[in-house]
Structure 1
C-alpha cells in the first residue's frame, strides 16, 4: 500500500510538473516574472473591472432601439471571442470588448438623435472594422506606431491614466458631468453609491499599502458587500438565468445603406476613435506591464492590432459595434497580469456570465470605481518622463492630457496630441524632428477635428 501511495504521489507530481511546463511553454510565465495563480487572479480582476460594461453597453444600444436582452448576450459572446483570441494569439494581458464611445455613437448619436437606423449604424461599424483589417494586414497601423514620436508614446500613459481615473470618479458619483457640455462638477458624497465607492477606495488603499495579493479584487468584493445594506448592491433572486437569444440583433447590419456619402463622417468617427483608442491602450497598458522595448514600442504590436481589427469586424455582425482592447485591462495588469493566461481567465469569467448574468449585474459600477481611480493614478505617473524643459515636447503632451479630459475620449486626446506635436515643431522651426509621414498623418487628423470634434 505504501508503494502504491508513493507511486500515486509521484504520478501526481509528474502530472503537476507536466501541466506547469505546458503553461510555461505556452505563456512564458517565468520569463515575464509571473505565475499561473497570479495570472488567474489578474484575469478575474480585469473581468470585474469591465463587468459594468455588461450593463452599460446594452443600455446604450437599447437607447437606439436594439433589444436589451439580445445585446446583453451578444456583448458577452464578443467579449469571450475577442479576449480568447487576444490571449492565445498575442500572449498579452488585454481584454477585448465593446468600447463605450462606439456604443454612444451608434445608440445615442446615430439612432436616437440623428434617426439613422441602428442596422445602418452596424453597417458603418462593420466597414470601419474591414478598413482596420486591411490596414493591419498591409502593415500600415504598425507604420503609424513607428511614426509617433517617443514623447507622445510616453505621454500616452498619463493621458489614458487620467481618462481611467475620471471614469472611476464618475462611476463613483464623486464627479458629475453635464451631458451636453461635459463640464465637470463635484457630486454628492452622501449618496449611497458614493459611500460604497469610498468604502472600496479605503479598502483598496489599506490592502495595496500592505501589499496583499489580489488587493484590487478584494477591494471590489468588499465594496460590493458594503453596498448590500445601503441598497446599492441588489442580490439577484436567482444566480442563474438562461441567456437571451441574439437573433433580434445578430446578422442585422445593413451594409448597403452604410455605403453613402452621408455616412462618411460617422465612418471616420468610428475609425479614428477606435484606431487611437487601441493604439493608446496597447502602448499604455503594455508599459504598465513592462512589456515595451527601449524605444517605447510594443514588440509584435501588429498581433494585437490584428486581433482587435478582426474583433471590430466580427462584432457588428453579431450586433455589437466598436470592439477594441479595453483600458480596463490595466486593472489586471495592476494585479500582476503579464501574459495571455490572464486574458483566458477573464474570458472564462465572461463565458460563465452567459448563465450567471444576474451575478454580474449585481456588481455595481460604484464597487469597481476605486480600482479605476487607483489604476489611473498610477498610470498618470508616467507623465514624469516628459521633457518639461523643452516646451515643444511638453506642450503636445499637455494638450493630449487636457483634450482627453475635456472631450472624455482618449482617442480624441491622442489625435490632438499628435496634431499639436506637428504644428508646434513646425512653427518652432524644428523641421528635422517631424517626419514626412507624420506630416501626412496630420492631414486626416486635421480633418477629424474640423468636421467631427468642433462644436456645432
Structure 2
C-alpha cells in the first residue's frame, strides 16, 4: 500500500475502502439508469449494462493506479443524454455512428491531455470561476439528492419544482437520513456517510417502507455483449452533423472533466495524470459500446467520507466488477438512503463560495452564473458556458479586458461557438 502513499496523506486502508464503498453506493444507480437512457438511442439495455459496469470498473481502477486520485469514472448522466437525445435524436445519427463520434472526440481529448494545452487551459481559468465550478457542482448535487429522496418533485404547470409529500414514509425517512448523516459527519464519526446509508437501508427494509424491485439483469447475456463492442460506423465521417457532433462532444468532455477535476481534486498535482486517464477511458467507452465516462460528481461523497488516494477509486472499481454478479442486491438500497449523502456532500462543496471575491462584480457574477446555471440546466457544461462567456464581457465593461489571459479568451469563444452549434442542431 506504499504505492498510494497512505501515511503521507494521513489516511488508512480502512478509511480509503469505506470512502470507496461510499462513492460506489452513491453511484450505483448508473448501472441501471445509463443502459435505459442508451436504449432510447437503440443500444440494447441488456448488453450496454455490461459496458456501463466494465468502463466504470476499469476507469476507476485505472484512475486509482495511474492517477492516484480518489475519483470514480462512470458514464456521465448529462453526456449520455447528449449522446441519445442530441447526437442520435436531433442530429439523426445511428447509435453506431454516435459511437464513432465518441471515438473521434476521444482522440482529440487524448491529444489535449498529452500536450501542454490541458495545463494552459487550467491555468487560464480565473480562481473565482474555479470556486464557482465547485460550488455549482455542489448545488447540482444538492438538487439531485433532494429529488432522489422525493423531497423535491416536479412542480407541474405551476412551478418547475416543488416540495415533495412529507407524509410519505419514504420521503420522511430521507429527511431523517439527512439529519442523521449530517450529525455523524459533524461529530467526525469515521465512515459517517456509509453508516448513514446502512442505517436508513435497514430501517426501510425492516419497516417495509422500501419494496425491493425486480432486476432484469442477467449474467447470461454477457456472451452476447461482443455484438456492441467496437460497433463503429464511420460512413458519415465528413458530414456536417458528424463534425458538429464531434466539436460539441469534445468541448463537453474536455471542459466538464476540467471543471470536475478542479472542483473535486484536492491534490492538484494529480490533475495531468487524472485528465489523461479520463481521455483514455473515453476511447475505451466507445469501444465498449457505451457513452463516455467522466469523473463522477458523486465521487465527492467518497472524498468527504475520507478518501484521499487512488485506493478509494480502486475500491469503487472492484465493487463495480463485483456488481456483475451482485447487481440484484443493489435493489435493496432505497434512494432515501443515498439521498442524504449526496445532499450533504453538495452542501460541503458549496463552502467554496467563501473564496469568491464578492466585492468585485466582474469576478463574482460570472461565477454566480455558473453556480445557478449548472443545477437549473442540469448540465455542468452549460453552466460553464454561461460563466465563461460572461467573464471577458464583464472584464471589458470594467476596463480590464486585457487583464484576462489570452487562453481564457479562446476558451470563452469556443464555449460561445459550442452554444451556437448546439442551438443549431
| Structure 1 length-normalised TM | 0.86
* 1:89 counterpart (60, 66, 76): 66
* 1:63 counterpart (16, 23, 40): 40
Partners in 2 of 1:436 and 1:235 — Cα distance?
A: 53
2:177 is the alignment partner of 1:200: yes
The alpha-carbon deviation at position 114 of structure 1 amounts to 5.2
Partners in 2 of 1:258 and 1:173 — Cα distance?
A: 44
- Matched with 1:295 is none
- Matched with 2:324 is 354
- Tell me which moved more, 208-217 or 34-43: 208-217
- Tell me which moved more, 215-224 or 338-347: 215-224
- Matched with 1:316 is 286
Partners in 2 of 1:316 and 1:376 — Cα distance?
A: 30
The alpha-carbon deviation at position 255 of structure 1 amounts to 2.8
- Matched with 2:304 is 334
* 2:386 counterpart (416, 434, 449): 416
| C-alpha distance 182-108 of structure 1, shift in aligned 2 (>3 A) | farther
- Where 1:56 maps in the other structure, the secondary structure is helix
- Where 2:228 maps in the other structure, the secondary structure is coil
The alpha-carbon deviation at position 231 of structure 1 amounts to 4.9
2:226 is the alignment partner of 1:256: no
Partners in 2 of 1:70 and 1:249 — Cα distance?
A: 7
- Matched with 2:129 is 152
- Matched with 1:279 is 258
- Matched with 1:407 is 377
Partners in 1 of 2:199 and 2:123 — Cα distance?
A: 43
| C-alpha distance 427-239 of structure 1, shift in aligned 2 (>3 A) | closer
Moved over 4 A (4+): 112-115, 177-182, 235-243
CA deviation map 1:414-433 (0-9, x unaligned): 23212211111012111342
CA deviation map 1:7-34 (0-9, x unaligned): xxxxxxxxxxxxxxxx12x011111111
Q: Is the 8 A contact 1:52 1:363 kept in 2?
A: no
| C-alpha distance 431-106 of structure 1, shift in aligned 2 (>3 A) | closer
The alpha-carbon deviation at position 248 of structure 1 amounts to 3.4
2:407 is the alignment partner of 1:430: no
2:410 is the alignment partner of 1:440: yes
| C-alpha distance 241-227 of structure 1, shift in aligned 2 (>3 A) | farther
* 2:343 counterpart (373, 380, 391): 373
The alpha-carbon deviation at position 55 of structure 1 amounts to 1.3
- Where 1:345 maps in the other structure, the secondary structure is helix
Q: Is the 8 A contact 2:64 2:71 kept in 1?
A: yes
| C-alpha distance 382-65 of structure 1, shift in aligned 2 (>3 A) | same
| C-alpha distance 74-446 of structure 1, shift in aligned 2 (>3 A) | same
The alpha-carbon deviation at position 180 of structure 1 amounts to 12
- Matched with 2:102 is 125
- Matched with 1:214 is 191
The alpha-carbon deviation at position 452 of structure 1 amounts to 1.9
| C-alpha distance 389-201 of structure 1, shift in aligned 2 (>3 A) | same
- Where 2:294 maps in the other structure, the secondary structure is strand
- Where 1:320 maps in the other structure, the secondary structure is coil
Q: Is the 8 A contact 2:213 2:332 kept in 1?
A: yes
The alpha-carbon deviation at position 373 of structure 1 amounts to 0.3
Partners in 1 of 2:97 and 2:157 — Cα distance?
A: 25
- Matched with 1:17 is none
Partners in 2 of 1:236 and 1:362 — Cα distance?
A: 10
Which runs of 5 or more structure 2 residues have no equivalent in the other structure?
Answer: none
CA deviation map 1:258-283 (0-9, x unaligned): 44211233223322222222112111
Partners in 2 of 1:47 and 1:175 — Cα distance?
A: 23
- Matched with 2:203 is 226
Partners in 2 of 1:108 and 1:435 — Cα distance?
A: 35
The alpha-carbon deviation at position 325 of structure 1 amounts to 1.1
Partners in 2 of 1:449 and 1:239 — Cα distance?
A: 38
- Matched with 2:354 is 384
- Tell me which moved more, 240-249 or 259-268: 240-249
| C-alpha distance 398-350 of structure 1, shift in aligned 2 (>3 A) | same
- Matched with 2:21 is 44
Partners in 2 of 1:98 and 1:182 — Cα distance?
A: 30
> What's the RMSD between the two structures over aligned residues?
2.5
| C-alpha distance 452-422 of structure 1, shift in aligned 2 (>3 A) | same
Q: Is the 8 A contact 1:203 1:222 kept in 2?
A: no
- Where 1:353 maps in the other structure, the secondary structure is helix
The alpha-carbon deviation at position 341 of structure 1 amounts to 0.8
The alpha-carbon deviation at position 300 of structure 1 amounts to 4.2
Larger radius of gyration: 1
